[in-house]
Structure 1
Amino acid sequence: METTILIFLLFILVLSIFLGFEVISKVPSLLHTPLMSGSNAISGITVLGAILAAGLAKGGNNDFAAILGGCAVGFAMINVTGGYFVTNRMLNMFKKKEKK
């Protein structure tokens, strides 16, 4: 890979990290739960893309790409599942506690 392309990709990574941090830090805490729920739905699209990539790689007899696609499916599912658990936990904090 050329050095200029690598530097450009590194610049995009650093810029996206900075921009993401700035955007999230400006969001009020009451909006974090709906935003997490929406981002979990978007992460579901990542699962579909990983399944598609793994399937296309398997059809082309490329074992490394198929294994990489399978790992992508696994990690994307962990991301989605963990996101829903965290969202559920955040929603439970808003429920009123019963008095004994």
Structure 2
Amino acid sequence: MDGMSLLTITVLAVFVGFEVVSKVSSTLHTPLMSGANAIHGIILVGAIIVAGQATDLWVLGVALLAVVLATANLVGGFVVTDRMLHMFRSRQSAAPKGDSK
């Protein structure tokens, strides 16, 4: 594929992704984040496989950068999901067990 085709596909993917995510109601954001975390895990595994099989130095550099970015994205997604789930807990159930106050 030439560069113009790749750029067109990228722009269309960004536009469609934005339109789909912006139409999601707030009650579905937590399940959507969990699904996105699963996809990021698959991307991380793929980046590790590419890094392990890289023979050129620049391919190894790009693959290691992909591993770092995918890891940051995966961990950040779990942190955001955990914060969202804490928002739905009541104050009484969020108190530690044994705390009788």
Tell me the residue number matched to 1:86: 80
Tell me the residue number matched to 2:40: 43
* Amino acid corresponding to residue 23 of structure 1 in structure 2: V
Tell me the residue number matched to 2:97: none
Match of 1:13 among 10, 18, 21: 10
CA distance in 1, matches of 2:83, 2:62: 31
* Amino acid corresponding to residue 47 of structure 2 in structure 1: A
Structure 1: gaps spanning 5 or more residues = none
Deviations 1:3-56 (A, max 9, x none): x82221111111111111111111111011011011101110011100000010
Aligned-CA RMSD value: 1.8
Match of 2:30 among 23, 28, 33: 33
| Count of aligned pairs between the two proteins | 94
SS at 2:2 equivalent: helix
SS at 2:91 equivalent: coil
Deviations 1:49-80 (A, max 9, x none): 000000100xx3x2221122111111110010
- Following TM superposition, where does structure 1 have runs of at least 4 consecutive aligned residues deviating by more than 3 angstroms? none
CA distance in 1, matches of 2:19, 2:2: 26
What TM-score, normalized by structure 1, do the two folds share?
Answer: 0.85
**Comparing 47-56 and 9-18, the one that deviates more:** 9-18
CA distance in 1, matches of 2:63, 2:16: 28
* Fraction of identical pairs, as percent: 51
What TM-score, normalized by structure 2, do the two folds share?
Answer: 0.84
* Amino acid corresponding to residue 64 of structure 2 in structure 1: G
